[in-house]
Chains A and B, each alone.
Chain A
Amino acid sequence: MTRLVVGGAGVLLAAYGGWLLLTRSSLGDLVSTALWLAGGVVAHDLLLAPLVIAAAWLGSRLLPSWARGPAVVAGLVLGTLTVMAIPVLGGWGRRADNPTLLDRDYWAGWGGLAALVVVAAVAAALVVRSRERTGGDRGKRPRRG
C-alpha cells in the first residue's frame, strides 16, 4: 500500500514535470533539453563508466596488491571531485568584464588536491605493505610486493 501511494505520487509529480516541459518550452528549447537529457546518460553509460572499468582493469594489472585499496579510494575521491569541478576547471563562464566571477586559479587548486590525494594514498599503501611484510596483520603470510 505504501509502495502504491509513493509510486503513484511519483508518477504524478514526474508527469507534472513533463507537462511543464512540453507546454512552456518552444520546440527549439525542447530539442535542446532532449539532447542534454540523453547526452548525460550517454556520457555516463558509454563514456565515463567504461573509462572507470578500463582504469580499474589497468590498476589490477599494474599495481601490486598492497597499493590497490588506497588507489581505489584515491581514484574515487579525485575522480568524482574532478567531474564535479569540470565547469570551473573549464572556465567557460568567465567573462572579461566581470573579474569577480571564477576568480581563482582552479587548475592550481586541482593540482594541490591531486597532490594531497596521491601523497595520502602512497602513505596508506606503504602502511598496508609494511603490515603485509611483517605479517602482523590478521596473521597473513608475508609476501612479496
Chain B
Amino acid sequence: MSAHDTDRESARPTEQSAEPGTAGGAGTPLEDRFTSRLRSAAVAARVGMWLGICFGIAFLTGLISHYAQLPDPSVPFPTGPVWGYRVSQAVHVAAGTAAVPLLLVKLWSVYPKLFERPPRIPRALVMTALLRGSIGVLVAAAIFQLASGLANVTQWYPWDFSFRRTHYAVAWVAIGALLLHVAVKLPVIRGALGSPVDDTGLDRPNATAPGPVSRRTLLRGTWGAAAGAVLLTAGASVPLLRKVSIFAVRTGEGPQGVPINRTASAAGVTAEAVGDGYRLEVVRGERSITLTRAELAALEQRTRTLPIACVEGWSASGTWTGVPVRTLLDLVQAPRGAGVRVESLQTRGASSSSVLPGNFADHPDTLLALGLNGEPLDIDHGFPARIIAPNRPGVLQTKWVTRMEVLA
C-alpha cells in the first residue's frame, strides 16, 4: 500500500482507484470491492444513452435493408433516391461500429453489478432473477449483434447459422431487451442525466475512490473512441475517408475501379459459360426471345452513374452502360408493373437469382449493364451482362445474367 500512501499526500483527483483485491478484507462483498467513482450510474447513463441511439439507428436501418431485400413487398421499396440504400447501409454499419467502444465502456461502468448480492426475501428474489435475466439477454444479444455484424463485414463466418436470418431475429431481441432495460432504469436514467456528471447521489455506497481520470475525461475518451471507430472504418463507403480508414474492409480499388463482392470463380462461373455460347433468354409465358451479347450491344445503350452498395456496408460508384431492362421487356410485350425474375449463370453460392419488382423493372435507370467505366464488364463484375438498378442492395444486383422471366 506504500505507493497509495504517497499518492494521498497530493489528494489529487487523478489518483488510481482501488479495484478488487485492493480494498476491504476477504469478507467484503465482491460488489463493494469495486471502489472507483468512475463505475457509476452517471457514466453508465451517459454512455448508455448514446449506445441506445446507435442501436436504434442500426435497428431502423437494418429494417430498411431487410425490407429492400424482400422479393415481393406489399408496398414496393422506392427506386429513389439513387444513393438511398448506399447511405442507409453505410449508416447501419457505422452505428454498429461506433457502438463497440460505447458497449465496452458501458459494460465496464456497470460491471460491479454482476456481483450484486441477491436479496433474501423470496418474492424480491424472483423479481431480481427476472431483471438480471433480462440484462443477461440484453448483453448477450448486444454483443452478438456487434460481433456477428463486424465479422460479416469481413465475410468471415465462423458459425453454422444463417447470418442474415439470425442477425435479423436477434436484432428484435436486442431492441426489445433494450426498451425493457430503459423502462426499468428510467428513474435512474432521469436522475443521472438530470444532474451534473460528478454528482455522487446515485453512486454505490462504496464507490468513493477517485479514479485516475475524471468522469468527464472518461466520457470524452469514450466519445473519441466511438468517433475514431467510425473514421477508421468508414472509408469503405465514404471515398473521402479512404486514406484515414486504416481498418476499412476495402480500399475501393478493384477491376475497373470497383471492388468485388463475389468473384466469378467463387460463384462457379467459368470463362466457357460466358464465352461465345452465351445467350440471354427473356421469357414471358409462352413467348421467349434469345439474344447473343452482340445483339444486346446492338440495342440502344444507356449510360448511368449508379452506386453498387453492398449489404456489408461498402459501396462504390460506377458509370454503367447497358440496355434498359424495360427495353428488353418491351421485346416480349411485358405489361408495365410486372416483376421480373433474374437468373444468373452462377452455380455456387447464394443469390443466384433475384426478383426485380415492377417499379424497378420499369425504371429507366435499371439497366442490364454490359460495360463499366468505359470498358466491357470484367468477368468478376458480371460479364457478359449484369443488373444494376438505383437504390438497391448489391446482393440483388445479379451478375452473369442468363435469363429474365416476366412474372405477370
Contact = CB atoms under 8 A, between A and B. Distances in A.
Nearest to B213: A69
Interface stretch (B180-188, B276-284, B297-305): B180-188
Given A30-B161, A88-B247, A103-B250, 17 more contacts: A2-B186, A4-B183, A7-B179, A10-B180, A16-B172, A21-B173, A29-B166, A33-B159, A52-B108, A60-B18, A72-B213, A72-B218, A81-B228, A98-B260, A98-B262, A100-B260, A140-B10
A101 B218 contact: no
Contact of B159 (A32, A48, A79): A32
Interface in B9-24: 9-10, 12, 14-22
Interface of B: 3, 7, 9-10, 12, 14-22, 97, 100-101, 104-105, 107-108, 111, 114, 136-137, 139-141, 143-144, 147-148, 150-151, 153-162, 165-166, 168-184, 186, 211-213, 217-218, 221-222, 224-225, 228-229, 232-233, 246-251, 253-255, 259-263, 265-266, 380
Nearest to B220: A73
A127 interface: no
A41 interface: yes
A79 B181 CA distance: 27
Contacts of A113: 232, 246
Nearest to A38: B140
5 cross-chain pairs, A with B, having the tightest CB-CB distances, nearest first: A14-B176, A17-B172, A109-B246, A10-B179, A13-B176
Nearest to B246: A109
Contacts of A112: 246
Interface in A78-98: 79-81, 83-88, 90-93, 95, 97-98
Contacts of A128: 14
A35 B147 CA distance: 13
Nearest to B186: A3
22 contacts: A2-B186, A6-B179, A14-B176, A16-B176, A17-B141, A20-B169, A21-B173, A25-B165, A29-B162, A33-B144, A37-B144, A41-B143, A44-B139, A49-B107, A57-B22, A60-B3, A73-B217, A83-B100, A88-B249, A98-B380, A141-B9, A143-B10
A121 B10 CA distance: 22
Given A13-B175, A21-B170, A40-B140, A80 B246 contact: no
Interface in A17-45: 17-18, 20-21, 24-25, 28-33, 35-38, 40-41, 43-45
B100 A102 contact: no
A110 to B, nearest CB: 7
B139 A65 contact: no
A116 B111 CA distance: 29
A101 B147 contact: no
Interface of A: 2-4, 6-7, 9-18, 20-21, 24-25, 28-33, 35-38, 40-41, 43-45, 48-49, 52-53, 56-57, 59-61, 65-66, 68-69, 71-73, 76-77, 79-81, 83-88, 90-93, 95, 97-98, 100-104, 106, 109-110, 112-113, 128, 132, 140-141, 143
A93 B160 CA distance: 15
Given A29-B161, A49-B107, A20 B247 contact: no
Contact of A17 (B171, B181, B218): B171
A44 B100 CA distance: 12
